[in-house]
Structure 1
C-alpha cells in the first residue's frame, strides 16, 4: 500500500513537472495543426520542417534543446526501382537506397540519374563508378543553411538561438515507404500500438539523417535510418502513466545517471531511455499502467536498461539487429556503467531520492503515511494555469514564416479545408489565431502593393478590403489584435479613427482579468471567463505581443529596425502597451499635442519602471528603442541618445543593433 501511495504522489509531481493529460494533449494538437498548415503542399514550399524530439512528444522541460528535421520536398528516397512509378521524375530527384554494404539501420544513398539540387550534387562522391550522397559532405553543405553560427553536432547543425535556447537542426531526406529492414516491427505489433497507429506510421515512411555507423565500411558516406515521426506517434499512443514513466526515466537519466558528466562521457542518452519504454510496453512487461503503479513501470524499464548494459546490446525498437550500444558501450566503459547502474539498482526505489525534481514527492508520503493523494486532473492544476500554458503554446506557434499574397491566399484555403476535419478545441483555437494573423498580413501587403499605383478607385477598394480583414481578425484573435487596426489607420493618416480604436483597446487591456505572458489575476480571470470556451477566453481576456513580420512594411518610424532585424530574425515582437502608447503619441501629435505628451509620459513610465510584468525581458531592446524614437521625434536628442544606449545594453533578441547605432550616430 505504501508503494502505491508513493507512486500516486510521484504521479502527481510528474504531472506538475511534465504536464497533465490535458496540457500534453493541447501541446501536441496545437503543434500538429500549426505544422500541418505550414507544411501543406498547397503552399508549394521547397522545404518541410518538422519539430521532433521531446518538444514534439509533448514535454516542456527546462534546459532541453529544440530539435528540428528539415528536408527538400523535391527529393525522394526509394527502396527499389519499382517505386519510381509513384513519382514524376521531372518534379522529383530520385534517390535509391543501397544497404548491401552497411550495418543494420544504415544505408548508402545512390543517385541513379545523377540529377538533384546543386547542394545535393556538391555533397556527392563517386564509389564503384556511381554517384553517392556523402553524409559527412552533406552535413558540411547544410550546417549553416538556416543560422550562420551553427556548428556540427552528430547528424545536426547546432547552436544557440539568441544565446539562450539550444537547437539541433537535422537536414535529412525522406522516404514515403517503410524500410524493408523494419518489416519485422509490423509483425510484432499485436497489442501495442493499436492497428490504426501502425498503419499511420507505415504510411508516413521514414527519414535518413546524415551520420554513418562508426564501425561500418563507409562511415563518412552512410546515412542512418531515422524513425522520428514514427516515434512521436508511438509516444502519442501511450496512456498518461506510460508517458510520465518515460518522463521520470528522462529525469532519472539527467539528474542521477549523467549528473556531473561531460557530454563526451555520457554513455546513455534519452534515445536509449525511450527505446526501453517502447520495448517494455510492447512486451507487456507491466499489464496495467496506472498512477498507483507508476514506480513499478519505472522499475520494469530500469531493469530492462540494466540488462541491456550487462549484455552490451540495446536493440533498436524498429530494427532490433541494430545494436545501439555497439559504438561506445563496450569494454571498460560498459563495465563501469553497469557497476554504476547496479549500485543504484541495489538501493531500490530509494534511488529516486537523489532526484531534486522528484524526491520531495516521495518524502511527503514517507513523513506522512496518512497523506491523501488525489490524481484527478482538475485537482492538480487550476483552469487559469492550464489556460496560460495553452495560450502561450498557441502564441509560440502563431507565425507564418516568409509571406506573400500567394502564400497567404493558400493558407486561407488550407484553413477552409481543415474546417471539415475532426478538430479538437485546441485545433480550433489555433486555427482561429493563425487565421487572424494571415488576415492581418494580407491587409498590410495589399495596401503596400497599391499605395503608389496612382489609381484611386483601386486603392479605395483595397482600403475597404484591408479594413474589413483587420476587423475580422480582431474578432477572431485576442484583445491586442485590435491594435493592428490602429496601426493601419495611422499608416493611412486617419489619426482620429486610430485614437478611437486605441481608446477602446486601452480600456480592454486595463481589465483586471487580462492575461498577458503568464501574468494574470487568477481570481478575476476565473470570475470573468471561467468555464467558457478557449475561443471566447482568447477574444475577451487574453493579450499577446504585437508581431511585425519583417517582410511587411507597417509604419515609417520603425522601418530601420525591421531592416536591421530582417537579416537575422523574422519579426519584431513588441509588448501591446508599448505599441499602444507609441501609436497614441504618433497620432496625437497631429490632433492633440497635450495628449501626445501624456502618451509619451505613459510610455516613459512603463519602459523605465516595469519589472518584467508588461515588458518581457526579450522585448526590452525594442521597447527602449521605441521610447528613444518617440523622444527623438520631440526633438530631445540627448534623451533619445540615452534611450538608444539603454537598448544596446539589453539582450539583443531582435537583432536591431545596426538600426540603433545608426540612430545613435
Structure 2
C-alpha cells in the first residue's frame, strides 16, 4: 500500500512539474524564445564593438539580459575596458604583448583573499594616466579600485549611482549597470582546478572556449581583506554566460525558477539591506548541481526535483556559512555578508520553507496557478513540447519587440564618417554563413536604423551651394530613406515623411501618412487590436522580414542630436540637457502631427480635422495605439499642434497635462518654456533646418 501511495505521489509531483515547466516557458521563455534573445544580443555586441570610434575600448553586454531573461528586474549590464591595458599573471606572459603599445599590469595575489588581487603597475613612468588612480606601497604603484570607481563616476551623469563595482542608472525599463574593468587574456591560476572538474559538464569545446577568453577584473575589494579599498575582484562574467548558454532548457528554467523563488518568496517585502541572497547565488547553485551530476535527468517531469536539489544545496550553504565560488571554491561568497545573527535568521527562514515542502511555491504569483490547475484537474493532459506552447503570432510579437526595442549601442557623436563606417560593417556582415536567422533580422533592423540616420546627417552637415550637387545629395538621402523603409518596419516610412516635411514637400508627406493609415487599419497589423486569425491567414508562411515590413507598427525614436522637425527642437534640446539620447514618439502621434503641420500650409479645414483626430487619440487612447509611458511627449505634441493652429488656451492645457505626466522623455524644460510663451501670446517658433 505504501509503495502504491509513493508511486501516486511521485506521479502527482511529475505532473505538477510538467505544469510548472509550461508556466515557466510562458514566464521565462521557451527554448526558441531564449535562443532568439541571445542571438539578438550577441549580434548587437558584435556590431557595437566593431563600430566603436575608440578602438582602445571594448564593451560587453553581460548579466541576466545577456543570458536570455526578460523578467522584471533583468538588468542590462555592460562591462567596459581599455584594450591598451592588459593584466598578466606572471612576467613571462609579457612576451605576448607589444609593450610600446600596451601597458601591462601584474597581479599580486600574495596578500589577498581567494578571488581577489592587487594590480601592480609594471611601468608607471609609461602609464602616467594610471598614476591618478594608484597608491604607492613599498615603492610599488598599485591601481586602487576605490579611486578607479571615483574617477569613472565623476565623468558620468549624476543620475548614475555607485552599486558595488558598477555605476548604476535606473530607467523606466529597469537598471543599467556599467562596470569599468580590466581584461586578462589568460585563465587565472587559482581557477585551474575548475578545468580539472569539467568531466561531464560543460563539454570540452565549451571549456576550451572559456579558458582561452581569460577573465576580467572589476573594481571592488573584499570587505574583510587587508586592502579593501585597493583590491580587485576576479570576474568570470564571460565564462558564466557561456555556461548558461550550455544549459539545456530544463536547467535554464530551473535557474529561472530559483530567480522567481528568490524575488517572490525569499526577498519579498525586504529592504535592499536585508536581502542577503542574490541571483548570483542561485546561478552558482545551478552550476554546482549540474556539474556534480546530482540529477541524472533534467527534464520537464523532474523540474521540481531539480529545483529542490538546488534549494537544499543553498540551505546547506546558509547553514554552514559557506558558498563556494564555482570557479574558485576557496572564495566563500558568504564570508562578508552572511554570518552571525543574519546567517542564523536566514537559516531559520529557509528551514521553515524546507519544512513546508514544495507547497511554499504556492506563494509565488508567477507559478501558483499552474500548480493549482493540476491539483484541481489531475487528469488533464499536459503538453511539454515548448515549440507548441506559444502561437506563431505570440512568437512574432516577442521577436519584433526584441528587434525594435533593443537599440544599437552607438556613439554619442555621429557624423558622416561614422555612418559610412557602420554601413561598411553591415556590408561585411551581410551574407555571413555564421549568422543565425534571428541575427540576420537584427542586422536588417540595424541597417534601417543606420540608413535613416545617415540620410538626416547628410542633410544636416552638408551645405551645397550648387543646385545640381544639392539635387544629387537630396536624391541620395531620399534613396537611403526608402531603403530604410524596406529593411525596417513599415512605420519607417515616417522618417521619409519627416525628411519630405523638412524639405517643404508637403504633398509627399500627406501621401505617406495616408498610406500608413490605410496599412495600419488592416486587422493583421501587430497592434493591441490585432485579429490573430486574420494575421495568420494573411502572413502564414511569409518570412519574418516580410512580416516586419507589412505588419509591425513601431514607435519612432528621434535621436536628439539629429534635427528632424524644426517644431520639436526645443524638446530634443531639453532631453539632451538631461542626458536623454532620444525621444520616443508613438507613431500615430507623429503621423497626425505631420498631417497637421502640412495641412496648415495647404488646407486649414483639413488641418482642423487632423487636429481633432490627434486630440481624440491623446485624450482617450488607453494604450491601444500609444504607449502610456510616453504620455509626456504625446500631450506636448498635441499642445504644439494646437498652438500652431492658433488655439492657445487648448495648447496651455495640453502643456500643463504634459508637465503632470511621468517625465519619460525628459522634456520638462521645453514644456515650461512653451507654457511661458503661450501665456505671453507668442506663436510656435519653427526652426528652419
Same fold at TM > 0.5: yes
Report the TM-score when normalising by structure 1.
Answer: 0.95
Unaligned runs of at least 5 residues, structure 2: 1-10, 677-689
The residue correspondences of 1:468-487 to structure 2 (distance < 5 A) are: 468-487=479-498
Partner SS for 2:322? coil
Residue 447 (structure 2) pairs with residue 435 (structure 1): yes
**How much has 1:519 moved relative to structure 2?**
5.6
Stretch of structure 1 that moved more, 539-548 or 251-260: 251-260
Question: Secondary structure at 1:377's aligned position in 2?
Answer: coil
Which residue of structure 2 aligns with residue 424 of structure 1? Answer: 436
Alignment deviations for residues 628-655 of structure 1 (CA, whole Å, 9 cap, x no partner)? 1122222222222222111111111111
Give the distance between the partners of 2:70 and 2:517, measured in 1 at CA.
Answer: 33
Q: Deviations over 1:56-99 (max 9, x none)?
A: 11111124444332323433222233333444444433322221
1:584 to 589, 592, 595: 595
Q: Which residue of structure 2 aligns with residue 448 of structure 1?
A: 460
Equivalence for 2:134:
124
In the TM superposition, 1:183-332 aligns within 5 A as 183-332=192-341
Q: How does 1:503-542 map to 2 (within 5 A)?
A: 503-516=514-527, 520-542=530-552
Distance 2:662 2:275 in 1: 32
Q: Alpha-carbon deviation of 1:537?
A: 0.9
Shift of 1:360: 2.3
Q: Residue by residue, what CA displacement relative to the aligned partner does 1:472-527 show, whole Å, maximum 9, x if unpaired?
A: 111111010011111111111222222222222221122222124x6633232222
SS at structure 2 position matched to 1:221: coil
Q: How does 1:352-371 map to 2 (within 5 A)?
A: 352-371=361-380
In 2, the alpha carbon distance for the partners of 1:93 and 1:40 equals 22
Q: Is residue 397 from structure 1 mapped to residue 406 from structure 2 by the alignment?
A: yes
Separation in 1, partners of 2:514, 2:269: 55
Aligned-partner Cα distance in 2 for 1:621–1:481 = 22
Q: In 1, Cα distance between the equivalents of 2:167 and 2:516?
A: 43
Q: Which residue in the other structure is 2:47 paired with? A: 37
1:341 to 339, 346, 350: 350
Distance 2:477 2:102 in 1: 39
Kept after mapping to 2: 8 A contact 1:400/1:438? no
SS in structure 1 of the partner of residue 296 of structure 2: coil
Structure 1 position 16 matched with structure 2 position 29? no
Q: Distance in 1 between matches of 2:240 and 2:247?
A: 11
Specify the SS of the correspondent of 2:623: coil
Contact 1:56 1:232 in 2 (8 A): yes
Aligned: 1:97 with 2:107: yes
Aligned-residue RMSD, C-alpha:
2.1
CA deviation map 1:579-603 (0-9, x unaligned): 1111112222223333222222221
* 1:457–1:127 Cα change, 3 Å: farther
Write the deviation string for residues 21-59 of structure 1: whole angstroms up to 9, x where unpaired.
111111111111112111126643554333322111111
Q: Per-residue CA shift, 1:166-220, capped at 9, x if unaligned?
A: 3333222222222222122122222211122222222322111111111211011
Provide the C-alpha distance between the structure 2 equivalents of 1:132 and 1:618, rounded to a whole number of angstroms: 47
User: Following the alignment from structure 1 to structure 2, what is the Cα–Cα distance between the partners of residues 25 and 576?
Assistant: 29
Aligned to 1:460: 471
Q: Equivalent residue for 1:634?
A: 645
Note the 1:15-164 alignment, pairs <5 A.
Answer: 15-40=25-50, 43-44=53-54, 47-114=57-124, 120-161=130-171
1:659 aligns with 2:670: yes
Task: Extract unaligned runs of 5+ from structure 1.
Answer: none
- Partner Cα distance (1:149, 1:510) in 2: 41
Distance 2:418 2:433 in 1: 21
Q: Aligned partners of 1:610, 1:256: CA distance in 2, in Å?
A: 36
Moved over 4 A (4+): 115-120
Please say if 1:555 is aligned against 2:562: no
